Amino acid sequence: MEIGIDSFAAATINPDTGSFSDPVRDMHELLERMVYADEMGFDSFAIGEHYRKEFLDSANAIILAAAAAKTKNIRLGSAVTVLSSADPVRVFQNFATLDLISNGRAEMVVGRGSFVDSFPLFGLDIHDYSDLFEEKLELLLKIRDNEVVTWNGRFRPPLKDQPIYPRPIQKEIPIYRGVGGTPASFIKAGQLGVPLMAAVIGGETERFQPLVDLYREAYQAAGHPREKMKIGLHSLGFVADDHQGALDTYFPGYAKMFNAVGKERGWPPVTRKGFNAQSNEYGALVVGDPVQVSEKIIRHSKALGGVNRFTFQMDNPLLNHRQLMKSIELIGKEVIPRVKEYLN
């Protein structure tokens, strides 16, 4: 199993004043964490894409390119590229360039995104939310697999015998389909034969097993080679020296983050009781000490019939750089060896 980190390049918040910290410092510290994750033996580090004040990742390919110049082994990707509001030609060019800078370490997770801020920003109709994504994914895959492209669709001018450059080092840049809880998305990922990245940020992870099984069934029914099938799991997580300390440290920022989103979406306020339930043996949150977190990753993999990658989403507005660096160190030195020893 590969183990990585997904970050939304969150801007930190001063817990005393509630004000945002210096974004220049935040960006430099993010790059420092990416370099440290590489040194600690992580397999991947991915940057999300949002269009909000609290995140600094609207141009994630630039952040990844900066990290590519500073790292040696870690794979660098998006989590996710909001393909519905992007031009697939430009997306491919950005990540092909990243592949050249990183010497073949680029990849993408593409999805529709959990926020829709990019739609008014780029003049798109929210009613085309799903159709935009499906059409653009089709084009992106065609560009990846063909140097010269002829294509026609609803939402973009056609391409006729159009060469698209640069080409990456990798013959085939990995393009995962990021999914939430919609069965059709799991099935379509299988039909296309692309790797799957399932975001499980609440409830119990095992509830996603029927959905992952839909992906496997659709993948095999479409005749794609089984050896290329990959399943990833993305969950909120944080590691500290002791279990209770990890919970106590992570909860305040978790509550702040989800209560802010909850006000927009009508969710009930986050409670410590609910958080503790999410952090128990079967809950989706992977928060605790190295031993418990290692066991939980293995347990979640089993619950989904085996996964090829697990990624921590550690962004939290009240966690500081030192705490995140320590968590990366504990995962690298203790969690990754435990998980890989068990699975091997």
Per-residue pLDDT tens over the stretch 273-324: 999 999 998 999 999 999 999 999 999 999 999 999 999 999 888 899 999 9
pTM listed for this prediction? 0.95
Strand stretches in the chain, DSSP E: 2-7, 44-47, 75-78, 81-82, 108-111, 148-151, 159-163, 175-179, 196-199, 231-239, 286-288, 309-313
Q: What is the pLDDT of residue 12?
A: 77
C-alpha distances (whole Å) from 100 to each of 108, 121, 158 are 15, 30, 27
Q: Determine the residue type at 338.
A: R
Q: Which CATH number belongs to the domain containing residue 79 in this structure?
A: 3.20.20.30
Q: Determine the residue type at 326.
A: K
* Residue 180 near residue 161 (C-beta atoms within 8 A): no
DSSP 8-state assignment for residue 114: S
Average pLDDT of every residue of the chain? 95
Task: Give dist(CA 38, CA 54) in Å, integer.
Answer: 25
pLDDT value at 49 more than 80: yes
| Banded model confidence at residue 330, pLDDT cuts 50, 70, 90 | very high
C-alpha distances (whole Å) from 126 to each of 55, 83, 111 are 22, 13, 15
Q: What is the pLDDT of residue 15?
A: 66
Q: How far is CA 158 from the centre of its chain?
A: 30
Q: Which residues is 3 bridged to in the sheet?
A: 310
pLDDT value at 99 more than 90: yes
As a dihedral over the C-alpha atoms of residue 295, residue 255, residue 5, residue 136, rounded to 10 degrees, the angle is 120
Task: Give dist(CA 124, CA 114) in Å, integer.
Answer: 16
pLDDT value at 6 more than 90: yes
> Over pLDDT 90: what percentage of the chain?
88
> Over pLDDT 70: what percentage of the chain?
99
The answer to whether the peptide bond before residue 166 is cis (omega within 30 degrees of 0) is yes
**For the chain, what is the domain count?**
1
Average pLDDT over residues 179-201: 96
Q: What is the pLDDT of residue 224?
A: 97
The answer to whether the peptide bond before residue 194 is cis (omega within 30 degrees of 0) is no
Helix, strand or coil, per DSSP, at residue 75 = strand
Instruction: Provide the residue range defining the domain that includes 26.
Output: 2-343
Residues in Cβ contact with 285 at an 8 Å cutoff, skipping those fewer than 6 apart? 235, 236, 237, 275, 278, 279
